[in-house]
């Protein structure tokens, strides 16, 4: 049997558990360490040292500290935690200094990354037609802390004049909609995640990608 890729889970909430469940039936990945099973827990540095890749789905409050500590161990990272956009330059310096690899995304779903491409394409077309207004809506379950979502911020960065309205209620794992609207007609593009499994699968694709690489990559770059 070939050697499995050893994963250290950083965060064991909804996403950490989803990734763990996939790894339990995987012939490629093995979870060898879990940090922050709850807020009282710290980083399992000994366990992370034995892993190939650390996968962080925690909180914007601790993600930068986690990246710093894990980089010092020389371990590559997949970062799914959202809400730290303003720290990207800092993270690039940490990655460079410690000669590691890191891949990040506000949304590891393959479908959403295809959706990003559709938005890029549409934005170019609508640039030539200023009679169309654009607006966005995103809906997430009530436990989601950041608002607008990291995915909405990423989409907003692609289309001039696009702002999102955010709803936090119920159990929706993630809905994003962009509407181009004129007096004559409207075009709606939307993505609905049905569960968290798409995010988890994408995070593991990212883990395999970053295993032997150095430098910072956005997951979107894998779709070029
Ligand atoms: N990139 C993507 O595709 C994607 C998809 C879904 C979610 N996300 C993002 O991933 C992150 C985690 O999402 P989730 O739904 O898994 O959240 P979650 O269910 O709240 O789990 C977060 C985990 O991190 C721990 N944690 C949070 N804050 C902490 C702190 N200050 N100190 C120590 N431990 C802490 C939690 O411990 P407790 O259980 O004790 O709270 C839990 O184990 C969020 O930023 C979310 O927006 C990204």
- Is the pLDDT reported for residue 1 higher than 60? no
Examine the domain organization and report whether 100 and 24 are in the same domain: yes
Give the model confidence (pLDDT) of 91-129 as tens digits: 999 999 999 999 999 999 999 999 999 999 999 999 999
Q: Where are the alpha helices (DSSP H) in 25-132?
A: 45-49, 63-72, 88-98, 110-127
Confidence of residue 223 (pLDDT cuts 50, 70, 90): confident
Q: What whole-number distance in Å separates Cα of residue 117 and Cα of residue 107?
A: 13
Give the model confidence (pLDDT) of 197-215 as tens digits: 999 999 999 999 999 999 9
Active-site position among 17, 24, 92, 140: 140
Examine the domain organization and report whether 166 and 103 are in the same domain: no
The preferred substitution site among 35, 36, 193 for testing ligand 1, maximizing ligand atoms within 8 Å of CB, is 36
Examine the domain organization and report whether 96 and 134 are in the same domain: no
Q: What whole-number distance in Å separates Cα of residue 81 and Cα of residue 165?
A: 21
- Is the pLDDT reported for residue 3 higher than 70? yes
User: Which atom of ligand 1 lies nearest, measured to the CA of 60?
Assistant: 45
Task: Find the 198 Cα to ligand 1 centroid distance in Å.
Answer: 16
Examine the domain organization and report whether 64 and 150 are in the same domain: no
Examine the domain organization and report whether 151 and 182 are in the same domain: yes
Q: Is 141 a catalytic residue?
A: no
Examine the domain organization and report whether 146 and 177 are in the same domain: yes
Task: Find the 12 Cα to ligand 1 centroid distance in Å.
Answer: 7
Q: Which domain holds residue 9?
A: 5-108+197-223
Q: What would the mean pLDDT of 15-31 be, rounded to a whole number? A: 98
Provide the token pair at 179: 């509407």
**What's the pLDDT at 44?**
97
Element (H, E) at 24: helix 14-24
Cβ–ligand 1 contact at 113 (below 6 Å) = no
**What's the pLDDT at 180?**
98
Give the model confidence (pLDDT) of 39-73 as tens digits: 888 999 999 999 999 999 999 999 999 999 999 99
**What's the pLDDT at 36?**
96
Cβ–ligand 1 contact at 111 (below 6 Å) = no
**What's the pLDDT at 18?**
98
Q: How far apart, in Å, are the Cα atoms of 68 and each of 71, 95, 97, 108, 171?
A: 5, 9, 10, 22, 33
Q: What whole-number distance in Å separates Cα of residue 149 and Cα of residue 77?
A: 21
Q: Is 128 a catalytic residue?
A: no
Cβ–ligand 1 contact at 57 (below 6 Å) = yes
Examine the domain organization and report whether 126 and 219 are in the same domain: no
Q: What would the mean pLDDT of 148-156 be, rounded to a whole number? A: 96
Task: Find the 165 Cα to ligand 1 centroid distance in Å.
Answer: 22
DSSP 8-class letter at 2? P
Examine the domain organization and report whether 174 and 125 are in the same domain: yes
- Is the pLDDT reported for residue 4 higher than 90? yes
Residue tagged 């250290």 (tokens)? 8
Active-site position among 6, 75, 144, 191: 144
Q: What is the CATH number for 154?
A: 3.30.360.10
pLDDT cut 90: percent of the chain above it: 95
- Is the pLDDT reported for residue 38 higher than 90? no
Q: Count of domains in the chain?
A: 2
Helix 14-24 × helix 197-210 angle, to 10°: 70
Q: What whole-number distance in Å separates Cα of residue 20 and Cα of residue 99?
A: 27
**What's the pLDDT at 106?**
93
Examine the domain organization and report whether 214 and 117 are in the same domain: no
Examine the domain organization and report whether 100 and 15 are in the same domain: yes
Task: Find the 30 Cα to ligand 1 centroid distance in Å.
Answer: 20
Q: What is the CATH number for 96?
A: 3.40.50.720
**What's the pLDDT at 40?**
87
**What's the pLDDT at 224?**
81
Examine the domain organization and report whether 81 and 12 are in the same domain: yes
- Is the pLDDT reported for residue 2 higher than 80? no
Q: What would the mean pLDDT of 160-170 be, rounded to a whole number? A: 97
Cβ–ligand 1 contact at 104 (below 6 Å) = no
Examine the domain organization and report whether 169 and 118 are in the same domain: yes
């Amino acid at each position: 049997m070939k050697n499995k890729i050893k994963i250290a889970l950083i965060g064991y909430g909804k996403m950490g558990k989803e990734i763990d469940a996939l790894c339990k039936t995987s012939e490629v990945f093995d979870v060898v360490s879990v940090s922050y099973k709850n807020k009282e827990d710290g980083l399992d540095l000994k366990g992370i040292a034995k892993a190939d890749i650390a996968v962080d789905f925690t909180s914007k409050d601790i993600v930068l500290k986690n990246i710093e500590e894990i980089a010092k161990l020389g371990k590559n990272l997949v970062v799914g935690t959202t809400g730290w956009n303003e720290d990207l330059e800092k993270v690039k310096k940490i990655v460079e200094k410690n000669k590691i690899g890191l891949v990040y995304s506000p949304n590891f779903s393959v479908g959403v990354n295809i959706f990003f491409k559709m938005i890029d394409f549409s934005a170019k077309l609508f640039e030539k037609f200023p009679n169309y207004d654009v607006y966005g809506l995103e809906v997430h379950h009530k436990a989601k802390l950041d608002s607008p979502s990291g995915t909405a911020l990423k989409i907003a960065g692609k289309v001039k004049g696009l702002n999102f309205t955010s709803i936090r209620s119920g159990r929706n794992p993630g809905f994003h909609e962009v509407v181009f609207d004129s007096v004559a007609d409207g075009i709606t593009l939307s993505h609905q995640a049905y569960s968290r499994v798409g995010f988890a699968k994408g995070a593991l694709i990212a883990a395999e990608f970053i295993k032997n690489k150095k430098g910072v990559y956005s997951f979107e770059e894998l779709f070029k």
